[in-house]
Amino acid sequence: MKGISYDDLMSLTLDILQQELSYPKDKAEITAWTLVEADARGVSSHGVARLPAYQKQQEKGFVFPENEPVVELETPVSLVINGNSCVGPYIADFTMQKIIEKTNQTGCCLASVKDSNHYGMAGLWAEKAALSGLVGMAFTNTLKCCLVTFGKERMLGTNPIAMAIPSGEKHNMFLLDMATPVVANGKVQVYDRQTKPMPDGWCVDENGSPLTDATRMNQLTKTHVPMGGHLFLGGQGEIMGGHKGYGLGLLVELLCSGLSLGRASYSTFQNPGSGSGICHFFGAFRLDLFGDAISIKSHISSILNDIRKSAKETGQNRIYIHGEKEREFRENSMKNGIVLDEATEKLLDKYKKKLDI
Amino acid sequence: MKGISYDDLMSLTLDILQQELSYPKDKAEITAWTLVEADARGVSSHGVARLPAYQKQQEKGFVFPENEPVVELETPVSLVINGNSCVGPYIADFTMQKIIEKTNQTGCCLASVKDSNHYGMAGLWAEKAALSGLVGMAFTNTLKCCLVTFGKERMLGTNPIAMAIPSGEKHNMFLLDMATPVVANGKVQVYDRQTKPMPDGWCVDENGSPLTDATRMNQLTKTHVPMGGHLFLGGQGEIMGGHKGYGLGLLVELLCSGLSLGRASYSTFQNPGSGSGICHFFGAFRLDLFGDAISIKSHISSILNDIRKSAKETGQNRIYIHGEKEREFRENSMKNGIVLDEATEKLLDKYKKKLDI
């Protein structure tokens, strides 16, 4: 199956962002990059299918593409950023660029960000630091959609954790990028677009009963009924560790919203006209804080290789390191084009028609 | 049910460590504190029932209580510690004390530690930073006992994540302390001591089949057959997010073993006479990096309270914040004594007889 080329999808996405969403060029470029990278890596939950959601959020006054993020407070090891409800990927890139500069000087840097917006795949920002040879981390809160252990009300977001650790070889970077519930909300949207039932154990309805209908789940999170939603990693209750997933989600919430004095996930997207209130937390540190960076990277690489080589489960012939599947998917996309699902293709066709492309 | 008083259990544990294990006084004190704190908090997996394991590890030449940890490398924001195979809690306390001092000066500090030993509940060390008003983090690798996604060989440890965030009120601290598999290995030992079957989904045997027999699981991790063991949070495969739990376990491994150039979990406890090789990673940062610390703590406190107040699942009347159950358990232990299970009581009786107490 032949897909659309990376460059063509980038160019089309840029046109849509600039013409349909009136993004200034610099903001359109970084946003298009995050969307196309996600599709190229097979993470369609964070790809160009998000465009209508971005457009809607902008129309409602949650995103102000003309605004600029500002540094409100700075120490040698930290930054406090006010995103001024600008475009999420632009704010994330702005912040991580500054973090990398400061980390190269002082050894480490942490940043809190308030009043931002959806910044695409969290992993891209952690990876940005790792491509500069640093350990990188990126966290964000989101729209409320997850139930805490013993709760039935959506309180926390899918609050992803992204951590990237370089190993000296670009193709052997550890890149963890995980939503803290069983699955990211974008995955539900993929099932919805494809009208497929979701596996049992991902979500529950407003009565706490298993919910496998992705369309209903998608509608649920848009209603004013605040009950029912995603289960955190480990599922319902405590037996299989659901309280641990909830703990990770809450940790991300406190790092993002708590430290930035910004809105918690249960208060984002509440005031049309005044920004969504999404908050982030970023960080990076240098490997040579801990000794010779080349030896450390080589040690990390050998640990990853030992794990790859370890004995496989019956029926499996490969053990993956985090980030590896997406890296290989991307290589294939660069060779054979990016394959989009039918709903996304239709969506792009609609935009093309409208923009007369 | 009346338990043993905190002070009595502390005194007895001190005697055992000093007389039976020949710990110097300072190392016995900090070790006894970690064990008794765990029992007082209801975390019996990390309590005094560990004494025989500590003794055995010492006899085998994995722990050298006379040794001292040293700082091998230092920057304003980092420490590299060689534990010299001394007592784990002593090394952890030594490191976190130095981190707190440096963080108070520079805003944040990270530390890698190699050649350490089991340091007790990870949460105690993160909490130590938070009791000084800092965000604290503590990670450690352990003995290999977990299967990576699609693997059948024990490669990683239970690699816990501990993060503590102060909220201004001691009784409202967020204290996440979670092993990255579904359950900590100590939990299996509790089921073994109580000869109870474990829930399905915690562990699998050498053939990848569900294993609910805690005694067999406990034996398995002691054999030379390296197959079968703990499943990471999210369970087997990827559908319920097992690759995320594996990712967290691997992240901890890379932060601990990778950065310190120390042994990975699959290489710890391999060379009797030359230390276990356990590695840790610690960190802390100041809240006022991000603005007024009092406002931040109050914002954190309000987020935690909003979550507590949110709607409960049918049949539940309370939503817990991480660390809260253990804090309340401890309060009860201080009032009514620490209740130990029968096997642990018998163990202490044996020690008492031997020491003629």
Model ipTM value? 0.97
Distance CA(B231)–CA(A151), nearest Å, equals 26
- Whether chain A has a CB inside 8 Å of the CB on B150: the answer is yes
A219 by Cβ neighbours in 10 Å (0-12 / 13-18 / 19+) ranks as exposed
Of A153, A174, A311, the CB nearest to B151: A311
For chain B (357 residues), the mean pLDDT of every run of 10, in chain order, is: 91 98 98 98 94 96 98 98 98 98 98 98 98 97 96 97 92 94 88 90 94 93 87 96 98 98 97 97 98 98 97 96 97 97 93 92
Of A208, A239, A319, the CB nearest to B151: A319
| Closest CA in chain A for residue B305 | A155
Distance CA(B210)–CA(B214), nearest Å, equals 11
Residue range A312-320: mean pLDDT, rounded: 96
- As a whole-number percent, the residues of chain A with pLDDT over 70 amount to 100
A34, B12, B15, B32, B271 from B346: Cα distances, Å: 61, 14, 17, 18, 31
Phi, then psi, of B238 in degrees rounded to 5: -115, -20
Distance CA(A266)–CA(B118), nearest Å, equals 39
A114 bridge partner residues: A82
- Whether chain B has a CB inside 8 Å of the CB on A257: the answer is yes
| Token duo for residue B257 | 């073993």
Q: Cβ(B314)–Cβ(A139) under 8 Å?
A: no
- Whether chain A has a CB inside 8 Å of the CB on B251: the answer is yes
- Find chain A residues with C-beta within 8 A of B75's C-beta: 107, 289
Of B250, B320, B321, the CB nearest to A322: B250
| Token duo for residue B28 | 């016995």
Q: By C-alpha distance, which of A31, A51, A62, A198 is closest to A142?
A: A62
Distance CA(B132)–CA(B97), nearest Å, equals 10
Q: Cβ(B123)–Cβ(B162) under 8 Å?
A: yes
* Tokens 């045997």 -> residue: B205
**pLDDT over 90 at A110, yes or no:** yes
Work out the minimum CA distance from A167 to partner chain B, whole angstroms: 10
Q: By C-alpha distance, which of B55, B44, B49, B50 is closest to B20?
A: B55
* Tokens 């040794």 -> residue: B67
Domain ranges (residues) in chain B: 1-59, 66-181+232-290
Give residues with Cβ within 8 angstroms of B350, minimum separation 6: none
SS3 B195: coil
Of B112, B161, B258, the CB nearest to A303: B258
Q: Cβ(A275)–Cβ(A115) under 8 Å?
A: yes
pLDDT tens per residue, range A233-268: 999 999 999 999 999 999 999 999 999 999 999 999
Query: Chain A, 179-198: which have a CB under 8 Å from a chain B CB?
Result: 182-183
CA atoms B162, B163, B168, B173: torsion sign: negative
Distance CA(A326)–CA(A123), nearest Å, equals 11
Q: Cβ(A338)–Cβ(A40) under 8 Å?
A: yes
The class level of CATH for A67-181+232-290 reads alpha beta
- Find chain A residues with C-beta within 8 A of B147's C-beta: 313
Phi, then psi, of A219 in degrees rounded to 5: -70, -40
- Find chain A residues with C-beta within 8 A of B306's C-beta: 155, 264, 266
- Whether chain B has a CB inside 8 Å of the CB on A311: the answer is yes
Q: Give the pLDDT of residue A169.
A: 80
A25, A351, B76, B300, B351 from A22: Cα distances, Å: 9, 14, 46, 37, 76
What is the C-alpha radius of gyration for chain B, rounded to an integer number of angstroms? Answer: 20
Q: Give the pLDDT of residue A63.
A: 98
The class level of CATH for B1-59 reads mainly alpha
Of B199, B251, B319, the CB nearest to A151: B319
Of B77, B251, B306, the CB nearest to A266: B306
pLDDT tens per residue, range A162-209: 999 999 887 789 999 999 999 988 789 888 888 899 999 999 999 999
Of A78, A289, A322, the CB nearest to B290: A78
| Token duo for residue A28 | 């359109």
Q: By C-alpha distance, which of A54, A217, A228, A266 is closest to B313?
A: A228
- As a whole-number percent, the residues of chain A with pLDDT over 90 amount to 90
The third-level CATH classification (topology) of the domain covering B66-181+232-290 is Ribosomal Protein S8; Chain: A, domain 1 (3.30.1370)
- Whether chain A has a CB inside 8 Å of the CB on B305: the answer is no
DSSP string, A50-94: GHHHHHHHHHTTS--TT---EEEEEETTEEEEE-TT--HHHHHHH
pLDDT tens per residue, range A5-60: 999 999 999 999 999 999 999 999 999 999 999 999 999 989 999 999 999 999 99
Q: Name the average pLDDT for chain A.
A: 96
Distance CA(A38)–CA(A36), nearest Å, equals 5
- Whether chain B has a CB inside 8 Å of the CB on A209: the answer is no
CATH architecture of A1-59+324-357: Orthogonal Bundle (1.10)
Relative to beta strand A146-147, strand B278-286 is unpaired
- Whether chain B has a CB inside 8 Å of the CB on A61: the answer is no
Q: By C-alpha distance, which of B184, B132, B135 is closest to B158?
A: B184
Give residues with Cβ within 8 angstroms of B235, minimum separation 6: A240, B182, B201, B241, B242, B245
- Whether chain B has a CB inside 8 Å of the CB on A71: the answer is no
Kindly list the strands in the beta sheet with A146-147, ordered across the sheet, starting from the edge strand earlier in the chain: A154-156, A146-147, A229-231, A203-204, A210-211
pTM of this structure: 0.98
Q: Give the pLDDT of residue A37.
A: 98
Q: Give the pLDDT of residue B205.
A: 94
Distance CA(A58)–CA(A20), nearest Å, equals 11
Q: Give the pLDDT of residue B113.
A: 98
Neighbours of A118 (CB within 10 A): 22
A139, A146, B41, B176, B291 from A250: Cα distances, Å: 11, 10, 22, 9, 21
B229 bridge partner residues: B204
Query: Chain B, 224-243: which have a CB under 8 Å from a chain A CB?
Result: 226-227, 233-235, 239-241, 243
Please indicate whether, in this complex, the C-beta atoms of A261 and B174 are within 8 angstroms of each other: no
Task: For residue A174, give the H/E element and its range.
Answer: strand A174-178
Work out the minimum CA distance from B205 to partner chain A, whole angstroms: 11
- Whether chain A has a CB inside 8 Å of the CB on B106: the answer is yes
| Closest CA in chain B for residue A179 | B244
Q: Cβ(A134)–Cβ(A166) under 8 Å?
A: yes
Q: Give the pLDDT of residue B184.
A: 87
Q: Cβ(A282)–Cβ(A297) under 8 Å?
A: no
Query: Chain B, 111-140: which have a CB under 8 Å from a chain A CB?
Result: 112
Angle between helices A6-15 and A25-40 (to 10 degrees): 140
Please indicate whether, in this complex, the C-beta atoms of A290 and B321 are within 8 angstroms of each other: no
